[in-house]
C-alpha cells in the first residue's frame, strides 16, 4: 500500500481555499469512481505523480487539504468546476476562484486596472467605488453578507452587533442599517431577538455556574459568532416574510 507522500510545497503567500471534502466524496461517488481511479487520473493526466489513493481518501476525510493546483486538477478529474470543491468562500480571491474567473475578467468587469484589482485581493482591502462594488456583487454573485466580508466591513458589523446585544439594541438599528441596508422592521426584529438570545445565555450561565462567566461560557461564544447569528436570523426573517 502506497504511503501518502508529497513533494514539499513551495511557499505561497496565499493559503489554499477552504476545501469541501463532502462535496469531493459525493462527486466521486456520483461518477462511480473510487479513490484509486481518481488518483490514477491525477497521476496520468494532471502531472501529479505522487498522488495516491490514500492521499485522495485523506482529502475526502478532511485529514488533508489539496493545494490550489491539486484542487484544480481534482476538479478536472471529477468533471466539475473548482468552485464545487471549495467550501464557503471567505475572501475576494476565494469568491473569484469559486466562480472560475480569472483576475483579468473580474478587473475588466468592475472597471479596474488589473494591478489595482490584484492589490485589493492581496491586501484584502476593497477600494472600489459604489458602482464598482455593485458590479463586483453581480459578477461574483455575492450576498449582502459576502459584500460586507470582502469589503472589510464585517468586523465593524460585529462590533455594532456585540454592542446591540449587550446594551440597548434600539440604539443600534440605524448604525447597523447603514452597513446592512435591510428592511427596518426586519432589522428591529433581528436585533431584538439577538438581544433576547444573548441575555438568555447570560442568565443560563449565571444559573449553572453560580458566578461570573468564564472564557468558555455560552454568552461569550454567542458574542464570538454574533455575525453568523445575525445572518441566520436575517435569513429566517426573510423566509417567513
How confident is the model over 161-184, as pLDDT tens digits?
Answer: 999 999 999 999 999 999 999 999
> Would you state the pLDDT for residue 201?
82
What is the rounded distance in angstroms from the CA atom of residue 157 to the CA atom of residue 226? 9
Give the DSSP letter of residue 83. G
Residue 45 CA to residue 42 CA, distance in Å, equals: 6
Query: Tell me, what's the pLDDT at 87?
Result: 77
pLDDT at 219: 80
Q: Report how far residue 75's alpha carbon sits from residue 134's, in angstroms, rounded to the nearest whole number.
A: 30
Looking at the predicted structure, is the pLDDT value of residue 2 above 60? no
Higher pLDDT among residues 201 and 193, named by residue: 193
d(CA 234, CA 129): 26
Q: Is the pLDDT of residue 200 over 70?
A: yes
Residue 93 has pLDDT above 70, yes or no: yes
Q: What is the pLDDT at residue 203?
A: 78
Residue 138 near residue 127 (C-beta atoms within 8 A): no
180/153 Cα distance (integer angstroms): 10
What's the CA gap between 213 and 73, in Å, rounded? Answer: 48
Tell whether the model's pLDDT for residue 206 goes beyond 70. no
Model pTM? 0.66
Q: What is the pLDDT of residue 68?
A: 81
> Average pLDDT of 44-56?
93
> Sorting pLDDT into bands at 50, 70 and 90, what band is 19?
confident
pLDDT band for position 52 (cuts 50, 70, 90): very high
In the structure grid, which three cell numbers stand for residue 209, read together? 455556574
Spatial separation of the C-alpha atoms in residues 147 and 138, rounded to whole Å: 11
pLDDT grade for 124, boundaries at 50, 70 and 90: confident
Amino acid at each position: 500500500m502506497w504511503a501518502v507522500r508529497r513533494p514539499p510545497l513551495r511557499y505561497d503567500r496565499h493559503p489554499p481555499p477552504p476545501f469541501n471534502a463532502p462535496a469531493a466524496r459525493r462527486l466521486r461517488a456520483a461518477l462511480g469512481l473510487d479513490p484509486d481511479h481518481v488518483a490514477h487520473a491525477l497521476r496520468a493526466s494532471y502531472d501529479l505523480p505522487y498522488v495516491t489513493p490514500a492521499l485522495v481518501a485523506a482529502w475526502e476525510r478532511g485529514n488533508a487539504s489539496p493545494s490550489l493546483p491539486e484542487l484544480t486538477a481534482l476538479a478536472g478529474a471529477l468533471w466539475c468546476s473548482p468552485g464545487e470543491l471549495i467550501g464557503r468562500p471567505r475572501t475576494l480571491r476565494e469568491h473569484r476562484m469559486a466562480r472560475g474567473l480569472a483576475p483579468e475578467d473580474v478587473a475588466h468587469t468592475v472597471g479596474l486596472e488589473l494591478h489595482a484589482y490584484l492589490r485589493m485581493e492581496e491586501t484584502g482591502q476593497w477600494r472600489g467605488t459604489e458602482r464598482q462594488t455593485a458590479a463586483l456583487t453581480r459578477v461574483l454573485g455575492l450576498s449582502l453578507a459576502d459584500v460586507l466580508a470582502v469589503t472589510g466591513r464585517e468586523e465593524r458589523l460585529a462590533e455594532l452587533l456585540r454592542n446591540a446585544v449587550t446594551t440597548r439594541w434600539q440604539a443600534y438599528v440605524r448604525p447597523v442599517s447603514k452597513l446592512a441596508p435591510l428592511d427596518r422592521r426586519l432589522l428591529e426584529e433581528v436585533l431584538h431577538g439577538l438581544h433576547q438570545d444573548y441575555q438568555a445565555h447570560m442568565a443560563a450561565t449565571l444559573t449553572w455556574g453560580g458566578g461570573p462567566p468564564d472564557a468558555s461560557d455560552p454568552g461569550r461564544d454567542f458574542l464570538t459568532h454574533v455575525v453568523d447569528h445575525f445572518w441566520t436570523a436575517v435569513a429566517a426573517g426573510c423566509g417567513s416574510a
